[in-house]
């Protein structure tokens, strides 16, 4: 986002949506590149759907601008925007057949009949529903309906495709298969996508970049790995995946590392962060980056001692809950790399948990 670069394909500029005093969207700015799959991730009521509806044109920003491919969308009603949306409920027209549903938007554009037929056929092929062309929506399964909705929203070759909880209405198993299929189709077409979801797994697997939203604000924008490995603040660290958060004070700032003192241990953080001594910070460690041992690890940093309160066996891994001296409960996830552990841990065992100096993240807010 350097000023000298050409402007982004989709620019959301300082957009605010005010619902009688409540800012559902609060000064949000996002730049999205052409061909990108961008996800707005957050729990319900965070403003992501409001933002999506402003892109589609169903509501207009209280202030701010939305610019698509150089065109300001202000005042443009939904039916004049080069944007199409796949709705959460699919919103297929119940009285029209599959092909009529797909042709609906093309007819509104006054496209000649033979071209419409050609385009519809292409779309049906794309989503592999050729033999269902004459069926009505209620004669299709949930997964098939989802594909019709996708084909319908792609038929007009929109500049921007909006996906509202694209897989939310499918059951878990179908969702996993469909995620990949959906991304394949989108990449095949090469359309720019903004999707809204509350499911972090969905956002992680499908999107090239994610914006985390809460209470109308964007908390972090970044690639999935960035967001997971270097969360910008406590909220994001806690929202994405599991995390152990420890409050502490920065007591020693060195060029190559810092030392943070918490109630249960001292942290040696070995990657490039800096701050003033005496600053209150939080240290976050992901459960899968922690090891459990019976023996005290070497050195004086990056380990805690506690009692096993709980163990949950998941097959591929086991999660331990360890009660620390301060009362904090530590979550640790160990891969079950071999079928048996020589010396199995059990409830009430005194153990040590340790991690490497590069696996923590220090959060200042």
Partner 1 sequence: MSPQAVLTQLRNSKLLSGRSAVIGVPYVWLLVFFLLPFLIVLKISVSEMETVHFKDLLTYKDGLLQLTLKFSNYEFIAEDPLYFKVYLASLKYAAATTLFCLLIGYPFSYFMARAKPSIQPALLMMVMLPFWTSFLLRVYAWKGLLGENGWVANLLEWLHVDHLLLALGVIPALGKFMNSPFSLVLGMTYTYLPFMILPLYANLAKMDLRLLEAAADLGATPWTAFWKVTVPLSKAGIIAGSMLVFIPCVGEFVIPELLGGPETLMIGRVLWDEFFSNNDWPMASSVAVVMILLIIVPLAIFNKYQAEAQEARS
Partner 2 sequence: MNGKKPPIFGDAFNRRFGKAWLAAGFAFLYLPIIALVIYSFNDSPLPTTWGGFTLKWYGKLMHDTEMISGFWLSLKVAFFTACASVVLGMFAAFTLVKYKRFTGRTMFSGMVNAPLVMPEVIVGLSLLLMLVSVQRWLGFPERGAMTIWMGHLLLGLAYATVVIQARLQDLNPQIEEAAMDLGAKPHQVFFLVTMPMIGQALASAWLLTFTLSLDDVVLSAFLSGPGSTTMPLVIFSRARLGLNPSVNAVATVIIVVVCIAVVTASYLIARAERQRAREMAAAQRAS
Contacts with partner 1 by CB under 8 A lie at 72, 74-75, 77
Q: Cα separation of 171 and 64, whole Å? A: 38
The site for partner 2 (CB under 8 A) is made up of: 56-58, 77-80, 83-85, 87-89, 91-95, 104-105, 108-109, 136, 138-144, 152-153, 156
User: In the complex, what is the shortest distance from the CB of residue 69 to partner 1, in angstroms, rounded to a whole number?
Assistant: 16
- Selection from partner 2, partner 1, none that 152 binds (CB < 5 to 8 A by kind) is partner 2
User: In the complex, what is the shortest distance from the CB of residue 14 to partner 1, in angstroms, rounded to a whole number?
Assistant: 17
Nearer to partner 2, 137 or 224 (CB): 137
SS3 category, 66: strand
- Selection from partner 2, partner 1, none that 142 binds (CB < 5 to 8 A by kind) is partner 2
User: In the complex, what is the shortest distance from the CB of residue 170 to partner 1, in angstroms, rounded to a whole number?
Assistant: 27
End-to-end CA distance of the chain: give it in Å, rounded. 24
Nearer to partner 1, 77 or 299 (CB): 77
Per-residue buried b or exposed e for 86-118, using 16+ beta carbons within 10 Å of the residue's own CB: bbbebbbeeeebbbbbbbbbbeeeebeeeebee
User: In the complex, what is the shortest distance from the CB of residue 154 to partner 2, in angstroms, rounded to a whole number?
Assistant: 11
Reported as half-sphere exposure (CB side, CA atoms, 13 A), residue 343 has a value of 6
Nearer to partner 1, 14 or 72 (CB): 72
Q: Cα separation of 89 and 49, whole Å? A: 14
In sequence order, what are the beta bridge partners of 363?
282
Q: Quick check: 260 and 281 in contact, CB under 8 A?
A: yes
User: In the complex, what is the shortest distance from the CB of residue 98 to partner 2, in angstroms, rounded to a whole number?
Assistant: 12
Nearer to partner 1, 79 or 314 (CB): 79
Tokens 């923590």, residue located? 360
Nearer to partner 2, 95 or 339 (CB): 95
């Amino acid at each position: 986002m350097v000023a000298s670069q050409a402007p982004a394909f989709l620019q959301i500029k300082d957009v605010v949506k005010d619902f009688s005093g409540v800012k559902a969207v609060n000064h949000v700015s996002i730049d999205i590149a052409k061909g990108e799959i961008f996800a707005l991730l957050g729990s319900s009521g965070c403003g992501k759907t409001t933002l999506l509806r402003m892109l589609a044109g169903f509501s207009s920003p209280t202030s701010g601008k939305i610019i698509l491919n150089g065109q300001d969308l202000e005042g443009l009603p939904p039916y004049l925007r080069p944007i199409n949306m796949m709705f959460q409920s699919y919103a297929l027209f119940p009285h029209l057949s599959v092909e009529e549903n797909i042709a609906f938007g093309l007819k509104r554009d006054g496209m000649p009949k033979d071209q419409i037929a050609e385009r519809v056929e292409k779309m049906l092929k794309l989503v592999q529903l050729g033999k269902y062309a004459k069926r009505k929506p209620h004669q299709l399964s949930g997964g098939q309906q989802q594909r019709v909705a996708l084909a319908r929203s792609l038929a007009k070759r929109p500049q921007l495709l909006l996906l509202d909880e694209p897989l939310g209405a499918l059951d878990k198993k179908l969702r996993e298969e469909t995620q990949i299929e959906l991304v394949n189709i989108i990449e095949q077409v090469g359309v720019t996508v903004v999707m809204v979801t509350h499911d972090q797994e969905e956002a992680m697997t499908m999107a090239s970049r994610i914006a985390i939203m809460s209470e109308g604000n964007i908390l972090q924008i970044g690639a999935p790995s960035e967001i997971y490995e270097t969360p910008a603040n406590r909220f994001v660290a806690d929202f994405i995946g599991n995390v152990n958060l420890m409050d502490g004070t920065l007591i020693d700032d060195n060029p190559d590392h810092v030392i943070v003192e918490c109630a249960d241990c001292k942290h040696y953080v070995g990657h490039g962060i800096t701050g003033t001594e005496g600053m209150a910070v939080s240290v976050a460690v992901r459960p899968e980056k922690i090891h459990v041992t019976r023996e005290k690890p070497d050195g004086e940093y990056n380990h805690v001692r506690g009692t096993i309160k709980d163990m949950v066996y998941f097959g591929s891994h086991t999660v331990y809950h360890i009660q620390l001296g301060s009362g904090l409960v530590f979550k640790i996830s160990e891969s079950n790399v071999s079928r048996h552990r020589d010396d199995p841990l059990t409830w009430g065992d005194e153990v040590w948990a340790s991690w490497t100096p590069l696996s923590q993240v220090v959060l200042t807010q």
